[in-house]
Structure 1
Amino acid sequence: MTVYWLVWDAAAHWIVERLTAEGALPHTARLRAAGITAAARPPAPNCQTPPSLATLFTGTWPERHGVTGFRIPGTGGRVEESAAAFAPGRCAAPPVWRTAAEAGLRTAAVHVPWTIGADGEAEPGLDVAVEAYSDRIDRQAALPLDGGPQHFAVGPHPLDVTPEGDRIRVRSGARSVALGEQDADWRQLRFGTDSGVWLRTVVSGGRRFLLRTGAWRPRVVGHDRALTDAVAETLPVFAGEGIGPTYRTGGLGPRLVDGGDGSAEDLFVSSMACVHRSFEAPARTVLARHTADLVVIYLPTTDDLGHELIGWCDPKSAAHRPDVADRIWRHVRTVYGWADRLLGAVLDRARGQDTVLLGADHGIAGTAWTVHPNEVLISAGLAARTPDGALDPARSSVLYHPADNGSLWVNHQDLPGGCVPRSDAGALLDRAESVLRAMTEPGGGRLATAGFAPSPGGDPAVVRHVLFDPDFLPTAQLRPDHAVIAPSRKPGAHITNNGDPRLHAIFAARGPGLTPGADLGTVDNTVPAQVALHQLGLGPADRARPLLPDTPARRVCTAT
């Protein structure tokens, strides 16, 4: 018996509901008809990917697992310092695969965090662990071509570009690819044996550009040598994200919402196909060859797409654009369709007594505005700038934290470099809360903040979380013009969770004991881990008990 767990990043329940109703996700419909389905509440006050994945995989809230954003403030040092959330050991609660390993069960994990230790080896019980995000070489880029030989670099790797008639040849060491303006697909170019980029040429604004994805060094480790070798041999060049930043700034030509003809969206989504191939290949190898008890597969493409496009299709958002929404939704349907086909492969691989779970870490909502809380705090005399215009934490009594996880911190004197008495922290936070509550959208009365909350596991006397309205994307950055709120170039986000149902994740599962066609309504996103453990025979789980039959735990023996 195997539990298969497929995770689509930012697969919002509202998006999946609409696509399933349209018939665009046949395998999702097949799974939901065969088992249970629900909308799943992500963690609060922060629902960025790391805390949301930690909640999903451990079945606990941030108070227990300790992950409060992409970066975690309050981990020692000065007030502005923070630690990487995906670092080995940073998740304090045991994920499902660790609990499984303690019972003698084995796991295969494809691009799942916290599966590789600080020593670079797979965690106990991991037959294979594939991971790449922790070693980024360089970000994506659009490189202008002038018609002659040119030299670019991707991190430490030089690229030589030379014309060949109506094509160009791009070289890295002994490897090269030829690219033409009419080529509709991206090409891989490897750097040595462990990294590379995907390349494509395009003409935009009368100029020719070489588009390239970012570059990462993937790792494939594990305790099943045959499976590990098989996965490593079939890995394509890894692309961890599409060319969203270039699309967002008009580098692919004007976006549909800016008067474009749709070609910029086509190019952006074509880069997402490179990302999907990077994740699908190891997933299919694992599905074909594993003997594990638990298989966990992560896909980021639904999140990447959502950040760049979803707001224009979100009728509850001020970013909604009815004039282009149908054309944008076509791309949403395409990318979710890729994910659905991989779910189909999982369902086809699963046997009668196996369990298949589909989940997401969180949902996503449209964002119309970018908000700069530190500009307000500076105006109120609570924070300060450096002479060159950056935030000066050393002279700030309260700051919106550079970790961008929604938290306000008092720079009290118990911290290195602190500047105010700790006894003043409560009054300072109250004052900061008061001035932030007054932020409204330009030309309207809509409030940027939806409330305030204590920090999970933090000291409420010195830290407080801001819950932003989903239409307001917060950033710790300052602006040269000192504007507090400006139009957002990124129309989808999920930073703080004020309870908006658009931030609810999809959850569905079928397997022994799971009632076919049962809609559970809204549940906590701690439930999927409890269901996975129950189906693995690792004991009844209190949160899962109302959803599952009262069956005895499966007996598990540890091999000797």
Structure 2
Amino acid sequence: MTVYWLVWDAAAHWIVERLVAEGALPHTARLRAAGISAAARPPAPNCQTPPSLATLFTGVWPERHGITGFRVPGTGGPVEESAVAFAPGRCAAPTVWRTAAEAGLRTAAVHVPWTIGADGQAEPGLDVAVDAYGDRIDRQAPLPLDGGPQHFTVGPHPLDVTPRGERVRVRSGSRSVTLGEQDADWRQLRLGGDSGIWLRVVRSGGRRLLLRTGAWRPRVVGRDRALTGAVAGTLPVFAGEGIGPTYRTGALGPRLVDGGDGSAEDLFVSSVGCVQRSFETPARAVLRHHTADLVVMYLPTTDDLGHELIGWCDPKSAAHRPDVADQVWRRVRAVYGWADRLLGAVLDRAGEQDSVLLGADHGIAGTAWTVHPNEALIAAGLAARTPDGNLDPGRSPVLYHPADNGSLWVNHQDLPGGLVPRSTAGALLDRAEAALRALTAPGGSRPVTAGFAPSPGGDPSVVRHVLFDPDFLPTARLRPDRAAVAPSPKPGAHITNNGDPRLHAVFAARGPGLSPGVDLGVVDNTVPAQLALRQLGLGQDGRPRPALPDPSARPVCTAT
């Protein structure tokens, strides 16, 4: 008996519901008909990917697993310091695979965090662990092709670009590819022996561009040598994200919302196709060759797509664009269809006594504006700017933390380099809260904040979390024009969770003991881990299987 668990990043319940109703996700519909389904509440006050995955994979809230954002503040150093959330050992609560290992069960994991230790070896019980996100070499970038030969680098790797008539040769060491504008797909180029990029030549605004994905170093480790060899032998060049930043700038041509014809969106979506291949290929290899009790697979393409497009077809968002929503939705349908295809492969591999879980770490909502909380704090006399225009933490009594996880921190004197007496923290946080409550959307009265909440596991006397309205994307960065609120170039986000149902994740499962066609309504996103352990015959403490958790779960966070 095997439990298969497929995770689609940022696969919102509201998006999946609409696509299933349209008949666009036949394998998701097949899974839901065969078992249970629900909308799953992500953690609060922060529902970025790391805390949401930690909750999904441990079945407990951030108060216990300790992950509060992409970076985790409160490391014992100066107020502005933080630690990487995905670092080995950072998740303080046992994951499902660790609990399974303690019971003698084995796991295969494809691009799942916290499966490879600080020593580079697989965690206990892992037959195979595939990871590349832990070692990024360089980010995506466009290169204008303006005539003669050019040279550029990707991390430590030098590359030569040589025009050859209508085509272009790109060389790295002894390897090269030749590309032209008429080529319909991306090409792989390996760099050294451990990484690579995907390349494509396009014409935009009368200029030729060489587009490239970012570069990462993949690792395939584990205790099953045959399985690790089979997986490693299939890996394509790894792309961890598409070319969203280049698309956002308009370098691919005008976006649909800027009067474009859809070609920029098609180029962006084609780059997400490189990501899909990077993740689907090792997942299918594991499906073919594994003998594990638990198989966990992660797919980021739905998140990549959502950040760049979803707001324009989110009718509850101020970013909604009815004039282009249908055209955008066609691209959403395509990328979710790729994810559904992988679910179909999982369902085809699973036997009658196996269990299949589909989940997501969180949902996603449209964003219309970017908010710069530190601009409001500076204007209120609570934070300071350096002479070159950046935030100066050492001279700031209160700051919106550079970790960008939604938290306000007092720079009190118990911290190294602290500025103000700890006894003043409560009053300073109240002033900071008042300054942020006063922020509204430009030209209107819509407030930026939806409430405030205690920090999970932190000291509420010196830390407070802001619950932003989902239409406002917060950033710790400052602006040259010192505006606290400005239009957002990114129309989809999931940073703080104020209970908005658009942030609910998809969840569905079938297997022994699960009645077909049952809708549980809304559950906490702790339920999938508890169900996975139950289907493995275990509880969270490793003891024999408990009852399925009560789906009538408590709200995660209450705004104040």
The equivalent residue for 2:146 is 146
Q: In the superposition, relative to structure 1, how do residues 205 and 272 fare at CA in structure 2: closer, same or farther (>3 Å)?
A: same
Residues 89-128 of structure 1: pairs in structure 2 closer than 5 A: 89-128=89-128
The equivalent residue for 1:259 is 259
Q: Distance in 2 between matches of 1:37 and 1:419?
A: 51
The equivalent residue for 2:303 is 303
Question: 1:92 corresponds to which letter in structure 2?
Answer: A
The equivalent residue for 2:425 is 425
Which SS does the other structure have where 2:331 is aligned? helix
The equivalent residue for 1:387 is 387
Q: Distance in 2 between matches of 1:163 and 1:477?
A: 39
CA contact (8 A) 1:11 1:363 kept: yes
- In structure 1, stretches of 5+ residues that fail to align are 549-560
Q: Distance in 2 between matches of 1:437 and 1:545?
A: 37
1:515-536 Cα shifts (integer Å, max 9, x gaps): 1000000000000000000000
The equivalent residue for 1:544 is 548
Residues 377-526 of structure 1: pairs in structure 2 closer than 5 A: 377-526=377-526
Question: 2:453 corresponds to which letter in structure 1?
Answer: A
Q: Distance in 2 between matches of 1:333 and 1:304?
A: 13
Q: Distance in 2 between matches of 1:368 and 1:476?
A: 17
CA contact (8 A) 2:8 2:360 kept: yes
Aligned residues: 548
Which SS does the other structure have where 1:30 is aligned? helix
Residue 146 of structure 1: how far off its partner (Å)? 1.2
Which SS does the other structure have where 2:142 is aligned? strand
Q: Distance in 1 between matches of 2:384 and 2:81?
A: 17
The equivalent residue for 1:239 is 239
Residue 547 of structure 1: how far off its partner (Å)? 6.6
CA contact (8 A) 2:70 2:85 kept: yes
Q: In the superposition, relative to structure 1, how do residues 104 and 368 fare at CA in structure 2: closer, same or farther (>3 Å)?
A: same
Q: Distance in 2 between matches of 1:484 and 1:259?
A: 28
Residue 543 of structure 1: how far off its partner (Å)? 7.5
Q: Distance in 1 between matches of 2:54 and 2:301?
A: 19
Q: Distance in 1 between matches of 2:261 and 2:427?
A: 53
Q: Distance in 2 between matches of 1:541 and 1:363?
A: 29
Residue 192 of structure 1: how far off its partner (Å)? 2.0
* 1:173 corresponds to 2:198: no
Give the stretch that moved more between structures: 286-295 or 252-261: 252-261
The equivalent residue for 2:210 is 210
Residue 100 of structure 1: how far off its partner (Å)? 0.1
The equivalent residue for 2:331 is 331
Question: 1:342 corresponds to which letter in structure 2?
Answer: L
Residue 75 of structure 1: how far off its partner (Å)? 1.2
Residues 52-91 of structure 1: pairs in structure 2 closer than 5 A: 52-91=52-91
The equivalent residue for 1:370 is 370
Which SS does the other structure have where 2:323 is aligned? coil
The equivalent residue for 2:34 is 34
1:339-359 Cα shifts (integer Å, max 9, x gaps): 000000000000010000000
CA contact (8 A) 2:276 2:299 kept: yes
The equivalent residue for 2:224 is 224
* 1:359 corresponds to 2:340: no
Q: Distance in 2 between matches of 1:544 and 1:319?
A: 39
Q: In the superposition, relative to structure 1, how do residues 542 and 534 fare at CA in structure 2: closer, same or farther (>3 Å)?
A: closer
The equivalent residue for 2:20 is 20
Q: Distance in 1 between matches of 2:103 and 2:41?
A: 29
CA contact (8 A) 1:530 1:541 kept: no
1:64-114 Cα shifts (integer Å, max 9, x gaps): 000000000001200000000000000000000000000000000000000
The equivalent residue for 2:555 is none
1:100-131 Cα shifts (integer Å, max 9, x gaps): 00000000000000000000000000000000
Q: Distance in 2 between matches of 1:415 and 1:356?
A: 47
Question: 1:101 corresponds to which letter in structure 2?
Answer: A
Residue 221 of structure 1: how far off its partner (Å)? 0.2
Question: 2:314 corresponds to which letter in structure 1?
Answer: D
Q: Distance in 1 between matches of 2:148 and 2:380?
A: 54
Q: Distance in 2 between matches of 1:42 and 1:477?
A: 26
Residue 147 of structure 1: how far off its partner (Å)? 2.1
The equivalent residue for 2:558 is none
Q: Distance in 2 between matches of 1:304 and 1:457?
A: 30
CA contact (8 A) 2:527 2:549 kept: no
Q: Give the aligned CA root-mean-square deviation in angstroms.
A: 1.0
* 1:268 corresponds to 2:272: no
Q: Distance in 2 between matches of 1:547 and 1:6?
A: 21
- In structure 2, stretches of 5+ residues that fail to align are 553-560
Q: In the superposition, relative to structure 1, how do residues 546 and 149 fare at CA in structure 2: closer, same or farther (>3 Å)?
A: same
Residue 545 of structure 1: how far off its partner (Å)? 3.9
Q: Distance in 2 between matches of 1:417 and 1:387?
A: 19
1:325-345 Cα shifts (integer Å, max 9, x gaps): 000000000000000000000
CA contact (8 A) 1:72 1:83 kept: yes
Which SS does the other structure have where 1:109 is aligned? strand
Question: 1:544 corresponds to which letter in structure 2?
Answer: L
Which SS does the other structure have where 1:339 is aligned? helix
The equivalent residue for 1:555 is none
Q: Distance in 2 between matches of 1:462 and 1:34?
A: 49
The equivalent residue for 1:528 is 528
Q: Distance in 2 between matches of 1:214 and 1:331?
A: 22
Which SS does the other structure have where 1:201 is aligned? strand
Question: 1:335 corresponds to which letter in structure 2?
Answer: V
Q: Distance in 2 between matches of 1:537 and 1:251?
A: 53
Q: Distance in 1 between matches of 2:181 and 2:435?
A: 53
Q: Distance in 1 between matches of 2:412 and 2:76?
A: 13
CA contact (8 A) 1:65 1:93 kept: yes
